[in-house]
């Protein structure tokens, strides 16, 4: 269970997040939508421990962010919007490199299987030769090396082909359903949100996203 209570975030005098409280259960994929500047990336960065909230508390299961930060970080996988891999390394070399930085030891066969599970069949090829979809899959695979309980995805399929989007989406559903991972997913693609997420949180004062998703039958919870 991810339990977020009364999160505020200020940059100087600018209030970005105002009293955000949510709960997300194991095995759920939760969407996070809103207009540009609504605070989605800031919220994810706080959940990923890359930024600190101005006020509020966050708990992941029995771990409190402020008290047990190192332990919390071992439970989190984060995929940023930008593809964060080594272009001149092969897929294998990237996986091995990031495994060395990981909290868990994985064998070469385990690392390769992680890629194969999401239809990333390239292994000895250098990353700069891969398609955008393959690079996105590698980015996701790296975030899963240490088997996190909470997976935070900031527009992980932006700019890629439909087939790769669908393969990533199906893999995420498997992670949630079969492994019980908690997944928070941001996207501007409303079809993707509706097809993938169990329900959606809407950040920001513009009611467009909330109204659009409700009209399509998606369960939406407004945070502002």
Asked if the structure places residue 41 within a domain, the reply is: yes
Question: How large is the average pLDDT for residues 173-201?
Answer: 96
Asked if the structure places residue 75 within a domain, the reply is: yes
* CA pair distance 125, 93, nearest whole angstrom: 10
Asked if the structure places residue 57 within a domain, the reply is: yes
- How confident is the model at residue 214, as a pLDDT? 93
Domain extent, residue 15, equals: 2-84+150-222
Question: How many domains does one find in the chain?
Answer: 1
- How confident is the model at residue 206, as a pLDDT? 81
Asked if the structure places residue 123 within a domain, the reply is: no
- pLDDT higher than 90, residue 224: no
- How confident is the model at residue 163, as a pLDDT? 95
**Torsion over CA: 35, 39, 45, 48 (sign):** negative
- The predicted-structure confidence for 91-147, as pLDDT tens digits, reads as follows 999 999 999 999 999 999 999 999 999 999 999 999 999 999 999 999 999 999 999
| Cα 131–chain centre separation | 21
Asked if the structure places residue 110 within a domain, the reply is: no
Cβ 1 vs Cβ 25: under 8 Å: yes
Asked if the structure places residue 168 within a domain, the reply is: yes
State the pLDDT confidence band at 205, using cuts at 50, 70 and 90.
confident
Strand, helix or coil at 198? coil
Asked if the structure places residue 192 within a domain, the reply is: yes
Closest of 22, 66, 29, 69 to residue 152, by C-alpha: 29
Asked if the structure places residue 11 within a domain, the reply is: yes
Give percent of the chain with pLDDT exceeding 90.
Answer: 95
Q: What is the CATH number of the domain that holds 52?
A: 3.40.50.300
- How confident is the model at residue 40, as a pLDDT? 94
- The predicted-structure confidence for 133-178, as pLDDT tens digits, reads as follows 999 999 999 999 999 999 999 999 999 999 999 999 999 999 999 9
- Given the DSSP bridges, would you call strands 63-64 and 55-60 parallel, antiparallel or unpaired? antiparallel
Give percent of the chain with pLDDT exceeding 70.
Answer: 100
Q: What's this model's pTM, rounded to 2 decimal places?
A: 0.95
- Residues 6 or more apart whose Cβ sits within 8 Å of residue 26: 1, 149, 180, 181, 182
* CA pair distance 19, 38, nearest whole angstrom: 14
Question: How large is the average pLDDT for residues 216-221?
Answer: 93
- pLDDT higher than 80, residue 28: yes
- How confident is the model at residue 194, as a pLDDT? 94
Half-sphere exposure (Cβ direction) of 33: Cα atoms closer than 13 Å: 27
């Amino acid at each position: 269970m991810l339990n977020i209570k009364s999160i505020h975030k200020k940059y100087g005098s600018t209030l970005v997040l105002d009293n955000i409280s949510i709960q997300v259960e194991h095995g759920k994929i939760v969407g996070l939508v809103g207009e540009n500047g609504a605070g989605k990336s800031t919220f994810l960065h706080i959940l990923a421990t890359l930024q600190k909230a101005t006020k509020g508390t966050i708990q992941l299961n029995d771990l409190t962010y402020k008290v047990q930060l190192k332990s919390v970080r071992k439970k989190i996988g984060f995929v940023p919007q930008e593809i964060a891999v080594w272009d001149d390394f092969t897929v294998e070399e990237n996986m091995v490199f990031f495994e060395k930085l990981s909290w868990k030891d994985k064998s070469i066969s385990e690392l390769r299987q992680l890629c194969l599970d999401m239809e990333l069949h390239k292994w000895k090829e250098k990353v700069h030769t891969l398609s955008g979809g393959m690079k996105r899959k590698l980015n996701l695979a790296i975030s899963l090396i240490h088997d996190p309980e909470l997976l935070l995805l900031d527009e992980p399929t932006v700019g890629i082909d439909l087939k790769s989007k669908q393969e990533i989406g199906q893999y995420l559903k498997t992670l949630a359903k079969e492994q019980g991972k908690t997944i928070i997913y941001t996207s501007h693609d409303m079809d993707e949100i509706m097809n993938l997420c169990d329900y959606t949180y809407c950040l920001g004062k513009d009611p467009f996203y909330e109204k659009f998703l409700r009209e399509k039958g998606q369960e939406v919870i407004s945070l502002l």
